[in-house]
Amino acid sequence: MDPAEERPTTIHAEDALAPRDPWRFLRLGLRGGFSRWGWGLMIGWLLVLLGPVLGWAGHLRRAAGWSALPSHWGERISARDIWELWENGGLQHRLANSPTVHLFGLGLVIVLWCGWRMQAERAGLKARLGSWLLGALDTVLIGFLPVGLLAWLGDVVLTWLGGLGIDGLGWIAFFGRPLLWMAAVAALNLQWWFCRLGRAAGPTRGYRAHLTDCFLRLWTHPVQWSLLSLGGAALRSLLPFLVLVLAWRMGGGTPFRVGLFLALQLAVTLLNGWLMGWLLRTTALFWAHDADVRTARAALKDLSREAIAS
């Protein structure tokens, strides 16, 4: 047989269809962060995180006629003070119509929808509401149990380490437990993204194969996806925390300082929205390549079966 006519026996022989790890798509995912959907995602994050804060400050200013924020920036409010405000300040009657609730809800809708449109566009698919909703149902079926079980086991281990009485382990448990659950939520988001992209692409080999492919896309690379989930959660938490620490140490004192801290918080919030978009784009690129690889594998299996049958 002429070597030029020999067909490769595996898709690994073709670089374009060789399986790739998630980290290989991080550089490609950098592009597109400032598209219309990228800006929508960042603006949505502003409304989700800063909208309630600004709305609350405006409520206090309208209710009391002044704001003590510049003079008491960084001071902690006790649980008793919160209870007094809630019971005797009439807040429970105003919460339903408060702009904080409206801004948070509007921002959350913008974040979810712009993130889905960005991801579907990057994967070359059409963003449909049905795929978005049914992908969430698929995530409940295949994601809640394994991710929740691992998060619970990790929380048990960290709790045990924190109870040993060693300062270093205590601090690890103190910071590690919330980060662990934040990473678990991020992993569920990854599973949901795979499921909704699979739904948007349309069923090709049946519902069971769809669930299997979505499950394997996450769990065949558990280390890399775990590091991306944990690292992303830690970074998105660290940046606002550093701004808060800076504000706490410097204090308010003047409206200029409060404005400076607010500007820093705005910048950090925009950066966090961009980071979330980066992960969305990276996941979409990984999914698109993995779908091509699985399609090529299925085609090779069909050719092999036909060759054996003939």
Say what the pLDDT of residue 123 is: 92
DSSP 226-240: HHHHHHHHHHHHHHH
> Distance between CA atoms of 115 and 48, rounded to whole angstroms?
14
> Distance between CA atoms of 287 and 195, rounded to whole angstroms?
10
pLDDT digits (tens, 9 = 90+) for 70-98: 555 445 556 666 666 656 655 555 555 56
Say what the pLDDT of residue 3 is: 44
Look up the pTM and report it.
0.81
What torsion, rounded to 10 degrees, do the Cα atoms 114, 108, 238, 248 define? 130
Is the CB of residue 229 less than 8 Å from the CB of residue 183? Answer: yes
Say what the pLDDT of residue 297 is: 81
- 221: its two tokens: 């690379």
Say what the pLDDT of residue 32 is: 85
Say what the pLDDT of residue 199 is: 93
Say what the pLDDT of residue 1 is: 43
Give the residues of the chain that fall short of pLDDT 70: 1-15, 52-100, 251-253, 302, 305-307, 309-310
What kind and span of H or E run contains 183? helix 167-201
> Distance between CA atoms of 25 and 21, rounded to whole angstroms?
8
- Which long-range contacts (C-beta less than 8 Å, at least 24 apart) are formed by 219-223? 219/146, 221/21, 221/22
Say what the pLDDT of residue 132 is: 94
Angle at the Cα of 296 from the Cα atoms of 120 and 27, rounded to 5 degrees: 45
Say what the pLDDT of residue 241 is: 86
